[in-house]
Structure 1
């Protein structure tokens, strides 16, 4: 039986972001992460994920994202399977985040 994946769309996360202590995990490759990521996001490399599984706060709220939301869905499911209760996949990923937060052209 696979874990239930919780999802959160960009618009809702934008509204909730200031109201909670979120851990943001960017599971794109390191080059893409370095080129740009959500403020405060950590690169979800294998060592970080292993450390979270071993000794992370399983009650902490975590938002996972990639480019489109597919790869992050897998990491969300993985963490949920290890007992993390508040893990969310960002629907549409970083691409959608950029669309939602684009500044209007004047």
Structure 2
């Protein structure tokens, strides 16, 4: 088993980055229903199931933070991004379940 090639970031650290940086890309890899039910403002929605087809939407030369419900799918997203050459990738540990920042935004589709 190879060594993990990405870093972890806490929900609190993500909260701080959302306030102070514009260079970080926050990618929510949950499914559409989960994202619609509530997501962190400022995130881009690319479900894990679509990541391989939509990776070109993520700038490879900027920091990428992957977010999911608990941290498992986002770890898979990090693994995939590293495998295709991304070098500054982080997984938000604990996922949305650990988020206690600004209220989650809901998306009204339909």
> Scaled by the length of structure 2, what TM-score is found?
0.76
- Say which of 51, 56, 60 aligns to 2:54: 51
The answer as to whether partners of 1:3 and 1:81 remain within 8 angstroms in 2 is: no
**Between Structure 1 and Structure 2, how many residues are aligned?**
100
Tell me, in whole angstroms, the C-alpha distance in 2 between the residues paired with 1:31 and 1:9.
24
Q: 1:8 is matched with which residue? A: 9
Q: Which one has the bigger helix percentage?
A: 1
Evaluate the alpha carbon distance shift between residue 71 and residue 51 of structure 1 in structure 2; reply closer, same or farther with a 3 A threshold: closer
Equivalent of residue 70 in structure 1, options 69, 72, 82: 72
Q: CA deviation at 1:70?
A: 0.8
Please list the CA deviations of residues 51-94 of structure 1 after superposition, one character each: whole Å capped at 9, or x if unmatched. 324x7421111111111001110111110111111111001001
Please identify which structure carries the higher strand content: 1
| Residues 1:23 and 1:102: Cα distance change in structure 2 (over 3 Å) | closer
Alignment gaps of 5+ in structure 2:
104-110
Which secondary structure does the structure 2 equivalent of 1:14 belong to? Answer: helix
Secondary structure, aligned partner of 1:74? helix
Instruction: Output the CA distance in 2 between the equivalents of 1:41 and 1:79.
Output: 17
The answer to whether the 8 Å contact 1:7/1:91 transfers is: yes
Distance 1:40 1:19 in 2: 11
| Structure 1: unaligned runs, 5 residues or longer | none
